[in-house]
């Protein structure tokens, strides 16, 4: 469902769940991987990315040259919205992941993909997580939505509830689109961090539907292929309205 949450993880990771980012241990290749991916995505995101992402990336100080130091990112982010990116060693069980969101803590992978796997990596890395996710957390409206989502998801009791929350997360936080200045823009982390997914989302093979909560909750998805259906917000205020509507349904 998310880059860090697995409902059916067969066992807990052997390493501690919450870890420290050893920034000084990043190699020259790690920094080169970050720089290469940053340049590739920013070359098109100036046109296709939501201004909320672009402004957020500037707010938290993302740069081209070096892998981000989360101490610097969090110092900027906490002043803005109270969120923090928290390094983790791998996938978290769903309840623990949701509980983090409810506390404005975003579990963040801090490893860097190998140069040989620039274009595709099955598991998350710091580029997907920090470049793809964290800039949105600097926006007050999105920040409030994500915390509220975490609060609701942490209380999910049935498998149906969990499935519906997974779909809401997928079609917003991971693969969300928004209408800005008369154009469709990408903001979900899976689109922000992946050129292929973003091109598909904006291309002729993807059906882009207006965001409507019931439709999103009823829409299944697959994680192993390009998306054939995505949902477009009128504005980010729709996100908070959606979680309020979900809560009101009981």
Q: Give me the residue spans of the domains in the chain.
A: 23-248
Q: Global pTM?
A: 0.91
The domain covering 23-248 belongs, at the CATH homologous superfamily level, to Aromatic amino acid hydroxylase (1.10.800.10)
Once rounded to an integer, what is the mean pLDDT over residues 84-103? Answer: 92
pLDDT tens digits along 109-142: 999 999 999 877 778 899 999 999 999 999 999 9
| Per-residue pLDDT tens digits for 178-226 | 999 999 999 999 999 999 999 999 999 999 999 999 999 999 999 989 9
Residue-wise over 3-38: b if at least 16 C-beta within 10 A, else e? bbbeeeeeeeeeeebeeebeeeebeeebeebbeebb
- pLDDT for the residue 91: 82
List active site positions. Answer: 128, 133, 174, 193
- What φ, ψ does residue 106 adopt, rounded to 5°? -105, 115
- How far is it, in rounded angstroms, from Cα 40 to Cα 9? 33
- Strands 183-186, 177-180: pairing is antiparallel
- Comparing CA positions, the residue from 51, 50, 70 lying closest to residue 61 is 70
pLDDT of residue 8: 30
Q: Which residue has the higher pLDDT, 15 or 142?
A: 142
211, 233 Cβ separation under 8 angstroms: yes
Residue 81 region by backbone torsions, left for phi larger than 0, else alpha for psi between -120 and 50, else beta: alpha
CB-based contacts of 133, cutoff 8 Å, min separation 6: 3, 106, 108, 173, 189
How many other C-beta atoms can be found within 10 angstroms of the C-beta atom of residue 245?
12
Helix axes 159-169, 237-248, angle to 10 degrees: 170
Query: Which of 74, 193, 186 has its CA nearest to residue 124?
Result: 193
């Amino acid at each position: 469902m998310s880059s860090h949450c697995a409902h059916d993880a067969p066992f807990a990771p052997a390493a501690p769940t919450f870890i420290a980012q050893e920034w000084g241990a990043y190699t020259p290749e790690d920094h080169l991987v970050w720089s290469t991916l940053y340049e590739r995505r920013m070359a098109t995101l100036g046109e296709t990315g939501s201004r909320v992402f672009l402004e957020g990336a500037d707010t938290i100080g993302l740069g081209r040259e070096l892998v981000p130091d989360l101490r610097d990112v969090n110092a900027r982010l906490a002043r803005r919205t109270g969120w923090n990116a928290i390094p983790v060693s791998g996938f978290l069980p769903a309840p623990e992941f949701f509980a983090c969101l409810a506390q404005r803590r975003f579990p963040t992978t801090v490893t860097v993909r190998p140069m040989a796997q620039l274009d595709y990596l099955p598991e998350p890395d710091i580029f997907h997580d920090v470049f793809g996710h964290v800039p949105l957390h600097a926006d007050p409206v999105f920040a409030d939505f994500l915390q509220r989502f975490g609060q609701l998801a942490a209380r999910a009791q049935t498998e149906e509830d969990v499935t519906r929350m997974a779909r809401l997360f997928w079609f917003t936080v991971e693969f969300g689109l928004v209408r800005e200045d008369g154009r469709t823009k990408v903001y979900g982390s899976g689109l922000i961090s992946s050129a292929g997914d973003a091109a598909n989302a904006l291309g002729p093979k993807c059906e882009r539907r207006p965001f409507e909560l019931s439709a999103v909750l009823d829409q299944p998805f697959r994680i192993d292929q390009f998306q054939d259906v995505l949902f477009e917000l009128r504005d980010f205020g729709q996100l908070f309205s959606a979680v309020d509507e979900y809560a009101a349904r009981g």
